[in-house]
Structure 1
């Protein structure tokens, strides 16, 4: 055994290390666990959405738990390196990018990745004329301080897509819709975020868009107010009309419609 491939999967501050070699590989000061791994060749394509890199992992690979129900809220990256065991040096970086999908098979999981350069080449979002605000809630363009609109408490009555929060009771129905909940994963100790679909003011019931993986009853959650991206909500709820990003006064009547009384 001379040149072997080693794989590092990273999520938040968690790292999982594997190798396709026949035995564990020690790279000071960590060990890469030997597991049956196969991979595709790296595709080169002029189409920024066409290239991909697929790796087959056994079903007991620890990081796969992140994708067991739905993808995690944060970025999961994969680094594949060719390592020379005799010299103890990295020969080359085979692949570096992020995991975009996991497909479950009977005896293994197919992990599809895209390279960092591929992600950079992809065309980003363009801003259009629109009535609603396009800014990310609490982001740099929105400028609302999220800590002014957070409710902290302990989640109870967990179901597949929701929980109760006593501290959220008394707010208007839908107050948290369009916002998100933030909590600590009970096993990985990573910060997870899930968007809120609905909220009930009378009961404090919070309905999410996906299953809250790693959330356990009694755990502390931070619940942030939502926005429906209208000027009325921006001004009345957040007192932030001066940073509203939509165009609410676009005429609804077509000036080229042939009506002489425009």
Structure 2
């Protein structure tokens, strides 16, 4: 039987919200004045962090919600927000009866745009129904549309991923050097995910590899990353048919149309021969 919330004059009910970051960290908060443990997650008392009104509809348009709070809790800091640790995090918002432990989920989605101002932050939430607005029909393209080692590509990511140790960091050039990095050029367009150090769990894109073999990434690097910090590097792919066939032997799974005539040919018209 589904409970009817707020049906009596006095209720022992608080709001909770849960963040599931992409690096595997789960954070829970509640508007109650004491910490609550349920669903296997400790929800810290944080009355300053509350979701705004949640609009839900029976239609296919995405539900809207927003969350605001103060950067006072040690679990959410301006540095972590700037570093992108909360980008794309899954969000769960609901009600919890702090006496019986009964809870009900009201909203599920992901964190959208995040902004900071003074000593606080605000974030737009994107509901799951937003996925219904995506166009499921792929568009033609000369390059492969599949993500490297993702669905459609079907290559095994472990075959192109290796764990390395950093030997030096240049924060000004935004580069990292690794010991004995094999085939450095092949990592252009790949990814780097930190295992140790102050940026553990953060994934970065590899923009280029310079002549010295240092890896340049697309996000700011913490200058305090110590030598010996471990990172997991995955090779990249330029999504061309030649690379897919010659380097990976995976032309059968190429998701592109490299030989399809372009718009210039489709809009051309015959001219008399000279």
Please give the range of the TM-score, normalised by the shorter of the 2 chains.
Answer: 0.7 to 0.9
Contact 1:152 1:223 in 2 (8 A): yes
- Secondary structure of the residue aligned to 2:76 is helix
**Cα distance, 1:44 vs structure 2:** 4.0
**Structure 1 residues 220-240: Cα deviation after superposition (integer angstroms, max 9, x where no partner):** 222222111111211222222
Contact 1:166 1:204 in 2 (8 A): no
Structure 1 residue 54 corresponds to structure 2 residue 66? yes
Equivalent residue, structure 1, for 2:5: none
Distance 2:115 2:215 in 1: 30
Equivalent residue, structure 2, for 1:203: 212
Distance 1:39 1:179 in 2: 36
**Structure 1 residues 161-187: Cα deviation after superposition (integer angstroms, max 9, x where no partner):** 320123226x36x42111112332536
Q: Taking structure 1 as the reference length, what is the TM-score of the superposition?
A: 0.81
Equivalent residue, structure 2, for 1:85: 98
**Cα distance, 1:87 vs structure 2:** 3.0
Structure 2 unaligned regions, length at least 5: 1-10
Equivalent residue, structure 1, for 2:55: 43
Change in Cα spacing, 1:111 to 1:61, as seen in structure 2 (3 Å) is farther
**Structure 1 residues 66-93: Cα deviation after superposition (integer angstroms, max 9, x where no partner):** 7422423874222222222333322x32
Equivalent residue, structure 2, for 1:241: 251
- Aligned Cα root-mean-square deviation (Å): 3.1
Equivalent residue, structure 2, for 1:165: 178
Contact 2:80 2:86 in 1 (8 A): no
Structure 1 unaligned regions, length at least 5: none
- Please give the residue correspondences for 1:87-236 in structure 2 after superposition, counting only pairs within 5 Å: 87-90=100-103, 92-116=104-128, 118-124=129-135, 126-160=137-171, 161-168=174-181, 171=183, 174-184=185-195, 186=197, 190=201, 192-200=202-210, 202-212=211-221, 216-236=226-246
Contact 1:14 1:188 in 2 (8 A): no
Q: Taking structure 2 as the reference length, what is the TM-score of the superposition?
A: 0.78
**Structure 1 residues 205-252: Cα deviation after superposition (integer angstroms, max 9, x where no partner):** 101111357964321222222111111211222222222222122235
**Cα distance, 1:153 vs structure 2:** 1.9
Contact 2:195 2:232 in 1 (8 A): no
**Structure 1 residues 13-33: Cα deviation after superposition (integer angstroms, max 9, x where no partner):** 422222223x21434576532
Distance 1:185 1:151 in 2: 15
Give aligned pairs, total: 254
